[in-house]
Amino acid sequence: MATPILKVSGLKKYFLSSGGFTGRNKQVIKAVDGVDFEIYPGETVGLVGESGCGKTTVGRTILKLYDPTEGSIFFEGQDIAHASKVEIFSIRSKMQMIFQDPYASLNPRHTVGEIIGAPFQIHTKLSKDEIKNEVQSLLTKVGLNPEHINRFPHEFSGGQRQRIGIARALALRPKLIVADEPVSALDVSIQAQVVNLLDDLQDEYGLAYLFVAHDLSVVQHISDRVIVMYLGKVMEIAKTESLFKEPRHPYTKALLSAVPIPDPKLERSRERITLVGDLPTPANPPSGCVFNTRCWKAKDICRTTAPELLTVGSSTVACHFPE
Amino acid sequence: MSSFLEVKNLSVAFPTEDGIVQATNEVTFSVDLGQTLAIVGESGSGKSVSNLAIMGLHNPKSTRISGQAIFNLESGPIDVLTAPTETVRKMRGSTMSMIFQDPMSSLHPFFTIGNQIAESWLLHNEGGKKEARARAIEMLDLVGIPSADRRVDDYPHQFSGGMRQRAMIAMALVNNPKLLIADEPTTALDVTIQAQIIELIKQVQKEFNMAVILITHDLGVVAEVADHINVMYAGRLVETGPVDDVFYNSDHPYTRGLLNSIPRVDSFHGGRLSTIPGQPPSLIHLPNGCSFQPRCSYAKHVFGNKCEISMPELSQKAANHLARCHLSEAEIISATKAGA
């Protein structure tokens, strides 16, 4: 493959908790703790994991909505982890974001024309009429009626609003879109429509997606490769097909086995791996392998030594005892 | 023999400034003890509204409710829609109980978990605080909270999402109800925690021989736990039947569309997802004829625009399997071949 459009190495993002009412119990929350991966042009990379595993933080740090604590983010060969605000400004038009909640991510007082036109006003010198034309062609592209340019977000349904969010992200022809749970707030019959739209747009514009989601079936459908995260660390990276067919990491295996399949006969005969307990807190992660407290294969070495990401078969896995 | 809960022609409407919202329309179904009924549908299809009516939780001043929701108890049948408020209040918690989607907003942040469970027990039982507390610990233990005798004094914010949902279940079950209504109980949870909670619901259902109504949009969860499915669309029941019949021989184009539009983790095919075009109708201005007709790819195959003219009745397709569609099975098959 060509050179990656995005290369992330050793990415860390720590947050400092407020320390409660007295401010004395400040804790370091290791939301993302050493993550490496790359995304190639035109590729969709799925990023999955339970809530609190740091997947959203990864997406936001890549876009520099957060400043990384450590590590580097190369976008088209340029390290943006330590870039200045001015340098970031020009890069922003090439990487955009689609948010989860189509109700919260659109300004209710702005018309659709203003919302989708904003990127043009900020980044281009187009005239008002030219912007209007662009906005209307974008609306058509995402399957909305271009005559609705003067409507407000509340006049649209959830699925339509997500289309508006997609049009806004597309406006400046970005090369990479970080989509954070873009369909999880939508009804089932609408989810499929939006997933297909994202697929079509990728074919047309050669977009790369980082698709952050917890719904593994959607991730499997849309992704070329999948990254599995747990407590701020990468557990496994693999091509979608091999990850779902032959999960190497026990956590991936458990995660897949927990997803119910819409097939009653299959469900009745299925052996399920039920993980015990909850996700440990990222303020005080377990020593050694972070998954050892919930892993049925854990031995002494797992409690003392953190496994490195190594290639096993067609996957890259961080586990002492991969499947 | 009659079922434990029989809902007959239940309609719920909310008058609003823009017109009357007919949230559920003539819904009829029943549930037996030990049985799990799943109610599936999109947001606004009326699945939650009909169950709030069964719990007697609608405000009579702002809601128009008609029909019957009869609980066949040992002491005789009671229709919660016409019974006195005091009777329904006594039944709530002890006969029927409900758990909600978001365990954080359904627990009171100022009271300990134990307090909230004990309160529910004290409402329905003669006994002191000590007994109530012991009962709360017993329930927390039952739903799998580790070191329940210590955690009983925790506040909701000290519990994780999965533990809060467990605590909700403990609270719902403290008075041994006969019917548990679970409204999207796992939607806010991660898949690994979802698997734990579903397992727990199955286990307590067996233990107490309860009837369970599970409201969800996740057909995977339905396949896992349900005996019987009701599919709702725009306030009406469009298909109802035993879980296998509905999954493998669905008779309504909407059910088929739903089943076809979800990707599955166990089969990888890439390509495009099949979709249901358009979006659910407004409940104030329902389309003429069948509510699903504007989105239905089969409608044009039906003779004489029947779908646009009249609302189909729920008609029998197989034993216990009903669907609200003008099309016959043979017509659906030939239309599919014709490339609908």
Please report the pLDDT score of residue A187 as a whole number.
84
The CA-CA-CA angle for residues A110, A115, A117, to 5°, reads 125
In angstroms, the CA B233 to CA B43 distance is 9
Please report the pLDDT score of residue B340 as a whole number.
46
> Shortest CA distance to B192 belongs to which of B161, B148, B159, B226?
B161
> Shortest CA distance to B188 belongs to which of B121, B250, B127, B105?
B105
Of A188, A195, A258, the CB nearest to B191: A258
Low-confidence ranges of chain B (pLDDT < 50): 340
State whether residue A216 sits within 8 Å of chain B by CB: yes
Q: CB burial class (10 A; 0-12, 13-18, 19+) of residue B311?
A: middle
In angstroms, the CA A49 to CA B327 distance is 43
Model confidence pLDDT, tens digit, residues A294-316: 999 999 999 999 999 999 888 99
Please report the pLDDT score of residue B161 as a whole number.
84
B219–A217 C-beta distance less than 8 A:
no
> Shortest CA distance to A228 belongs to which of A245, A246, A216?
A216
Tokens 């610990």, residue located: B137
> Shortest CA distance to B314 belongs to which of B25, B34, B102?
B25
How many angstroms away from the CA of B92 is the closest CA of chain A? 31
Of A160, A217, A267, the CB nearest to B263: A217
Contact B143, B200 (CB under 8 A): yes
Amino acid, res. B179: L
Chain B positions in Cβ-Cβ contact with residue A228 (cut-off 8 Å): none
State whether residue B217 sits within 8 Å of chain A by CB: yes
Please report the pLDDT score of residue B329 as a whole number.
62
Between β-strands B36-40 and A310-312, what pairing exists: parallel, antiparallel or unpaired? unpaired
Please report the pLDDT score of residue B324 as a whole number.
94
State whether residue B62 sits within 8 Å of chain A by CB: no
- Close Cβ partners of B77 (under 8 Å, ≥ 6 residues apart): B2, B70, B71
Chain B positions in Cβ-Cβ contact with residue A258 (cut-off 8 Å): 191-192, 194-195
How many angstroms away from the CA of B234 is the closest CA of chain A? 13
In angstroms, the CA B85 to CA B100 distance is 22
> Shortest CA distance to B239 belongs to which of B296, B312, B155, B165?
B312
> Shortest CA distance to A177 belongs to which of A59, A96, A119, A105?
A96
Chain B positions in Cβ-Cβ contact with residue A163 (cut-off 8 Å): none
- Tell whether the model's pLDDT for residue A1 goes beyond 60: no
Model confidence pLDDT, tens digit, residues A103-125: 889 999 999 999 999 999 999 99
> Shortest CA distance to A120 belongs to which of A130, A111, A110?
A130
Please report the pLDDT score of residue B269 as a whole number.
67
Please report the pLDDT score of residue A189 as a whole number.
83
Please report the pLDDT score of residue B333 as a whole number.
62
Confidence of residue A211 (pLDDT cuts 50, 70, 90): very high
- Close Cβ partners of A121 (under 8 Å, ≥ 6 residues apart): A131
> Domains of chain A: which residue ranges?
248-323
Please report the pLDDT score of residue A174 as a whole number.
95
Between β-strands B5-16 and B19-31, what pairing exists: parallel, antiparallel or unpaired? antiparallel
In angstroms, the CA B234 to CA B218 distance is 18
Pick from A77-91, A137-151, B218-232: least confident: A77-91
Question: What's the gap between Cα B217 and its chain centre?
Answer: 9
Between β-strands A315-317 and A95-98, what pairing exists: parallel, antiparallel or unpaired? unpaired
**Interface pTM, i.e. ipTM:** 0.82
In angstroms, the CA B187 to CA A59 distance is 23
